[in-house]
Structures are given as structure tokens and as C-alpha cells.
């Protein structure tokens, strides 16, 4: 089931994201971008759409973007990786975003760069370190 994230989901979202923070946060400023207060702020922003993927009330993953087409969060619970969960999440959101945009951007962790490449993204820069994060700016263009 896919649904819009609610304030009641924040702690579960933070727990799901926690194992991945080391992949891109280079200091406490970067780590703070994934705490409960920051997630709450994202949920309250009118230009951000944040979605929960769950099965039998168990959180499988989260995916969020800032309108019109910048992917903010894309995390799959470790126990649901390599099962097509991430691909299903991405295809669902990609369809939604493509209705309004011919380009999708993301600041990928270095670890996830190859995953985004499988989804058709390409790097537009080498890795950048800024605001406590290390990431690779990527984009996907549509004809």
C-alpha cells in the first residue's frame, strides 16, 4: 500500500533511514538533516510530497520529492532490499512526476549512485561535499 506520510509516521521513518545516514552524512550537520524535526518540517512543506510504502502495517520504504521533480528521500528497509520493492517505489513515483516534468534530479549518496544509474539517471558532477553531506548530483531526462 502506498500512502502519504503523516506525523504519526515520523519515528518509523527516522528508524528506517538511520542505517543509511553513514553513507552520505560527513558530520553532525548532515546527520541532523534526517532527524525527526527535519522529517516533520518536510511533511509540513506544501511543495514536498512524502510517501510511505507499507505491507501489513509494516514500513517497507519511503520516497519523497520536492515539486516539480527533485527526489529528496528514497529509502528501502534493509529487509526488503533485493526484492523489487525499491524498483516498484521508483516506478510509481516516476510515473507521478513525469506528468509535470521532463527532468528528474537527485543528490545521490555515493553508495546509491549505481542504483540510480540502473533507473536511467546519470551524474552531472563528481561527488560534492556541502552542508554536512557527500553526494553526487544526478538527473534523468525524458524525450
Q: CATH no. for residue 27?
A: 3.40.630.30
The pLDDT tens digits for 2-46 are 999 999 999 999 999 999 998 899 999 999 999 999 999 999 999
Domain count, the chain: 1
The DSSP secondary-structure symbol of 137 reads E
The DSSP secondary-structure symbol of 18 reads G
Domain that holds residue 26: 2-141
Per-residue pLDDT, averaged over 66-79, amounts to 95
Instruction: Give Cα separations from 61 to 73, 83, 129 (angstroms).
Output: 10, 12, 26
Amino acid at each position: 500500500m502506498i500512502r502519504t506520510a503523516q506525523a504519526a509516521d515520523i519515528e518509523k521513518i527516522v528508524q528506517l533511514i538511520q542505517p543509511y545516514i553513514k553513507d552520505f552524512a560527513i558530520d553532525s550537520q548532515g546527520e541532523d538533516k534526517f532527524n525527526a524535526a527535519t522529517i516533520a518540517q518536510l511533511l509540513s512543506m506544501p511543495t514536498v510530497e512524502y510517501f510511505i510504502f507499507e505491507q501489513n502495517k509494516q514500513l517497507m520504504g519511503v520516497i519523497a520529492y520536492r515539486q516539480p521533480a527533485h527526489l529528496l528521500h528514497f529509502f528501502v528497509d534493509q529487509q526488503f532490499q533485493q526484492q523489487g520493492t525499491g524498483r516498484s517505489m521508483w516506478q510509481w513515483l516516476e510515473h507521478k512526476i513525469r506528468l509535470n516534468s521532463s527532468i528528474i534530479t537527485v543528490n545521490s549518496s555515493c553508495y546509491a549512485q549505481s542504483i540510480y544509474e540502473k533507473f536511467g539517471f546519470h551524474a552531472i558532477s563528481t561527488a560534492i561535499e556541502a552542508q554536512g553531506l557527500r553526494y553526487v548530483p544526478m538527473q534523468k531526462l525524458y524525450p
